[in-house]
Structure 1
């Protein structure tokens, strides 16, 4: 979900070290301010989008990874997204969103990049393994993200998640007449540069 979304991509820096023989590599990356992480969903009457304020991620992020034959394994590629940094467009919906994520007990969403498979020739999509922790519940997912390397590394993709997978129950409003659907999407558009 939240914050989640935002850094699974750091793992994609596998592009940086493919030419080295040393199995363990280290690098630092910076996330550009124009990057976006947006969590969206629907209710039985409307839609909602919660945008994460990525300013906190301006500090360099240190990555340690091992290059394996089948994929690149990351040791410390973790993003901790503070629930309070999501803006859903208004006080009431922001409050509901924080309630949904059980923010009082679990103030952050953790995203950990586990591995990245090297891309096939001429393919922009890469397979990634992620561990997502929301409200104290961890789930491992495998997905594909689009990755392009020009001057910077650009990662785009959508993670489709279910609230029930994280033991979350959406709050009901107006005596139960407004209900949040179980499926949510985390849309990522991340730009990174090596430092």
Structure 2
């Protein structure tokens, strides 16, 4: 995902709109909203995504103690605006060691969250049992938001998904034990509403999970 736009579903190369198609095209997945190249985390990079997106840009705020913002990515182009957003954060895991979290907000069918979750997707519906009570809850933009465990994911991560502000919300955590963070009722802020507080976000090194989930 570094250097040039890529497919949100597989990370493969995409073709820009041209004579034969007015949308971005992946050879495998057809029409897609391209993921823009990932750049090192900074308040400026975060601001670019926040100002062009059409979907929420979620971040735990305040961040858990010792955690840092470690990257941002978006799916979409200048014409469509951002149709999916990804925010990475890293810090001390609840059981020791380092934990990593990726939060994805996206429109139906974009497929970015499923890629980080490690499932076929593009949406989590068939991997969640919403007839059972939710396994986690977060406060997203001030609203209690239930999240369900996503099944069928690789053993190295914990994945939860639900709906917030009319969009899919995915939470993907490495290692799997870091999923315990989701039982603490995290407070998620849509950074589009953060205003001047955006300048206060502490930045760390770029998370490799953004590049190779």
Q: If each structure's strand is expressed as a fraction of its own residues, which one has the higher value?
A: 1
Q: Do they superpose with TM above 0.5? A: no
Query: Relative contact order (C-alpha < 8 Å, sep 6+): which is higher?
Result: 1
Report the structure number with the largest CA radius of gyration.
Answer: 1
The TM-score with structure 1 as length reference comes to 0.30
